[in-house]
Amino acid sequence: MTAKTAITPATHTTPPAKFSHGVRKGNILQVAGQVGFLPAVPGQPPTVAGPTLREQTLQTLANVRSVLEAGGATWEDVMMLRVYLTDTAHFAEMNALYNDYFADLKEAPAARTTVYVGLPEGLLIEIDALAVLG
């Protein structure tokens, strides 16, 4: 029996519902959908990093990374990233930011699916991740 552990980075707000920012069980780590919220300030509602795709993409990647690291993983362990955008016109810019962000990756980069969905107002990007450790 392997225990399932909730992962809550210090930078994160408490989820607004009964879910975890990430969970790990054995060598599998799942990161919940992250958005561009700045590190949590106790007693304050979540604040988005800014109105631009650049600000939100970089903050969202930072938030995914926080969950990975709090669960003992790194980007090198990530198998799949799901990127949700709200506008097909954002693809090229997101890709450029993404490439810069992962320029130093040593291991094989993760697989990825990018699709265009609806998100809560003001949010331009959401990313979740599946990692396999070990």
Distance CA 25, CA 6 (A): 9
Cβ(37)–Cβ(58) under 8 Å?
A: no
Q: Which stretch binds its own copies (CB under 8 A): 37-45, 47-55, 56-64, 88-96?
A: 88-96
Q: Which stretch binds its own copies (CB under 8 A): 43-51, 56-64, 124-132?
A: 124-132
Residue whose CB is less far from its own copies, 52 or 91: 91
CA 118 distance to own-chain centroid: 17
**What are the DSSP calls for 2-15, one per residue?**
--EEEE--TTSPPP
Residue whose CB is less far from its own copies, 10 or 103: 103
As given in the structure block, the two tokens for residue 83 are 């990127």
Binding site for its own copies (CB under 8 A): 1-6, 15-23, 25-28, 30-33, 76-77, 79-82, 84, 88, 91, 95, 98-99, 102-103, 105, 107-121, 126, 128, 130, 132, 134
